[in-house]
Chain A
């Protein structure tokens, strides 16, 4: 682990602690009570999922234009982390929904349904990457899917505006935010914390991808030795000394 990665890891852990502290310090909601604290994980997770998939789309476009292997690795790493945050947003949403809405899952809710669809689309992206051995082919096909799949993100974001279902509409991104000041502060601290965690996770994932690529290349070269590699060249030093 590099010094930069170590610093990032410790920084993320420190921020996570700070996020937990401000989440406890924030007042309970008038109606939801303490269940509102789940939002300090749920909302940043959802935002980070959008960010991760946005980065993946930008990296996919970069690959299609420049054919840069780094862009492909960034897209793959960002999607991996984005899928994790999407799962976290879905899970925390369901845990919060049970006491507040009375159900883990509401079939008629547009935000829940579109988020679940987005989750499966990006799972498909990861499955596609795993299925292809050739790096160039994998990068090309993933880049196309990475751009196409991003169409889900605006649908998920605007689902609460387009369909008036159970999930609440925008609370913060609106001209007159309806959230309490301390709650907003706690939310922003956690949003920053999660963003740092996202960056750290992507960096670690990039390192892992690089190691995986080296291993894969080594295994492929071991499986397919070059023609004639079994024949050793004569050792001239030995012959000269003999």
Chain B
């Protein structure tokens, strides 16, 4: 399972997302799996792995109240979970992620500062994955 997102996220030394950055124009991409630079006005073909900003602003969020279908591995009984879209200032991109299950969502509002923390892949406690949490 861990190979599925190998190179997307690292828990050490601090939890951070790993994106691709074009060595020619500096455009970022997440996940870092693009075969070449996604910017059509750039002919770059090499994306180098880089740590993405650990903090950003909450673009929007939602809570899933019904269990998603497979391949999601839902807890039984299902426990609702939150998803956040967070805008990274330097990369100027929005990245989705689950909100850490221990996070307190009381008063959470669009525009709040969020940070990347380490969580686990749903249904696989041994595999770390990125989560968002109010900073």
Are chains A and B native binding partners rather than an unrelated pairing? Answer: no
Chain A residues near B (Cβ < 8 Å): none
